[in-house]
Amino acid sequence: MKLNMLLFGLLAATPAAMLAQTTPLEAGKAYTAAHKQELTKQFEEFLSMPNVAADPAGLKKNAEFLKAQLEKRGFEARLLTAPGLPEGTPYSVWGEMKTPGAKRTIVLYAHYDGQPVTPSEWENGKPFTPVEKMVDGQLRVYARSAGDDKDSIFAQLTAYDALKAAGIPLKANIRFVWEGEEENGSTHFAKILASNHDLVTGDVWLFCDGPTDQTGKPIIAFGTRGDAHLQVTIFGPHRALHSGHYGNWAPNPALALVQLLAGMKDGNGKVLIPHFYDGMVPMGPLDLKAMAEAPVNDNALRKELWLGRTDGGGKHLIEMITYPSLNINGISSGQTGPAAANVIPISATANLDMRLPLGIDWKVEQDRVIDYVKSQGYYVTATKPTQDELLSHPHVAWIERNQGENAARTPLDTPIAVDVVRAVNSTHGPAVLVPTSGATGPEDAMEKATGSKVIHVSMANHDDNQHAANENLVMQNLWDGVDMMAALIAMP
């Protein structure tokens, strides 16, 4: 695919936006209204660039493309890495615009990589060929990373252009840091930050990622949950067996796996693994107040999602995401549907993810799950078990640990936090204040590496199918996001 390196251009300013006293909101609105068609085209071309972890060359193209976009606007720009990283580790794209006399440095973070894709699950079969569709009167664009998280990068660049077009001067130093490994566990991001410490510090890191509230109100989140992953595999007969000739005698690995997983939670979604909730830092009074004021959309959401019940025994979503969670991302053994055959499968695998509040270390939580598996009579291996291991233990589980993150949280009364709330509320507020988001990002690594506060702002529609097939963005969310980014970039 040939990419036009001049895609994001500073388009002609509109006279209306040139008036004195123009606010960032007005500047953003005027700019996107005047250039909607070109901006839509540019956004779709950005989405056409494959950006998954399995394709390091594709990620590199994205990074080089973004660096060029920054340079074109007069930013100092670099591709950041660190000594000793494996070949193909995605760069973080860095850009800086210094403001004479600035008292603060504001760092805007986003990520340009996307979740893995299974093309056959997409309606058009092509996650990197954007499709426009009107859904209930709203224009949506469907493509990987439309809502997570190329929308944020595109809105930041466009917001800068809009401010410039309107003649609104910057007050702070502005830094952009766009990561390329967020969806792959941000494995090397802490090292990249540490190796480039002076370039990435600031008074605040604005983590621009994730969806808005279900009502469409912007969310400002002051923390994120950590996460941890495990892959569990149970083995059956060494070759697939006829279920008639051997069924009742040769143990079925899928049955063993479902029995192991079934005991991990109760019928309400409460995790039964011992110590799973131990160590979590409780919410403070300001946090509890913000949660009480947040809109409750549970019932509308339940209907939209065709859910006949929810976990948590009636507690609200905003509360439930402050607790640790355990989720089955996938399970597979043998074949289902038309391809199902009368066999006893050779193995069964499940992928688990855990989300963790402040106070619970992700490696400790992995240990607790593994200890639980052992307590169920399993011999646990970290590598694929040998014939000897399988023969000498009645129950063997192969558990692979994947990369994780710890939680982070910024107190709501931090001065810069108060300014961020004021800026967002000046555009499409009032914002919903969330003490912690349910999702995970590299905030903990950021805070450790930069010493900066991290505050999360988000702009994508809540039903953007992020991390799944048919990811999409409601285009109005992009235009509103430009206004919000303009207010944040123009902060004192």
| Gap between the Cα atoms of 131 and 142, Å rounded | 5
**Amino acid identity for residue 379 in this structure:** Y
Which residue, 102 or 255, has its beta carbon nearer to a copy of itself? Answer: 255
**262 part of the interface to a copy of itself, by CB under 8 A:** yes
Q: Tokens for 122, please give them.
A: 């997409």
Which residue, 247 or 415, has its beta carbon nearer to a copy of itself? Answer: 247
Q: How many CB atoms lie within 10 A of CB 171?
A: 16
Count of residues binding a copy of itself (CB under 8 A)? Answer: 102
Which residue, 188 or 225, has its beta carbon nearer to a copy of itself? Answer: 225
**118 part of the interface to a copy of itself, by CB under 8 A:** yes
Contact stretch for a copy of itself (CB under 8 A) within 37-45, 129-137, 166-174, 387-395: 387-395
**56 part of the interface to a copy of itself, by CB under 8 A:** no
Segment 415 to 444, residues that bind a copy of itself, using CB under 8 A: 437-440
Which x/- pattern over 332-351 shows residues binding a copy of itself (rule: CB under 8 A)? Answer: xxxxxxxxxxxxxx--xxxx
Q: Where are the alpha helices (DSSP H) in 103-142?
A: none
Residue of 23, 129, 195, 243 that binds a copy of itself (CB under 8 A)? 243
The tokens 């019928």 sit on which residue?
A: 267
Q: Tokens for 376, please give them.
A: 């169920």
Contact stretch for a copy of itself (CB under 8 A) within 3-11, 70-78, 86-94, 305-313: 305-313
Residue of 65, 154, 178, 323 that binds a copy of itself (CB under 8 A)? 323
**305 part of the interface to a copy of itself, by CB under 8 A:** yes
**491 part of the interface to a copy of itself, by CB under 8 A:** no
Segment 121 to 160, residues that bind a copy of itself, using CB under 8 A: none
| Gap between the Cα atoms of 140 and 119, Å rounded | 19
**477 part of the interface to a copy of itself, by CB under 8 A:** no
**311 part of the interface to a copy of itself, by CB under 8 A:** yes
Q: Tokens for 252, please give them.
A: 């079925």
In the bound complex, what is the minimum distance in angstroms from residue 311's beta carbon to a copy of itself?
5
**Amino acid identity for residue 130 in this structure:** P
In this structure, the strands spanning 343-344 and 408-409 are unpaired
Q: How many CB atoms lie within 10 A of CB 172?
A: 21
Which residue, 23 or 243, has its beta carbon nearer to a copy of itself? Answer: 243
**247 part of the interface to a copy of itself, by CB under 8 A:** yes
Which residue, 53 or 370, has its beta carbon nearer to a copy of itself? Answer: 53
Helix axes 475-489, 150-166, angle to 10 degrees: 60
Segment 160 to 199, residues that bind a copy of itself, using CB under 8 A: none
In the bound complex, what is the minimum distance in angstroms from residue 254's beta carbon to a copy of itself?
4
Give the phi and the psi of residue 32 in degrees, each rounded to 5: -75, -35
SS3 135: strand
Length of the chain, in residues: 492
Residue of 9, 56, 263, 279 that binds a copy of itself (CB under 8 A)? 263
Is the separation of the CB atoms in 230 and 257 below 8 Å? no
Which of 423, 432, 417 lies closest to 483 in space, CA to CA? 423
Q: Tokens for 170, please give them.
A: 């910057």
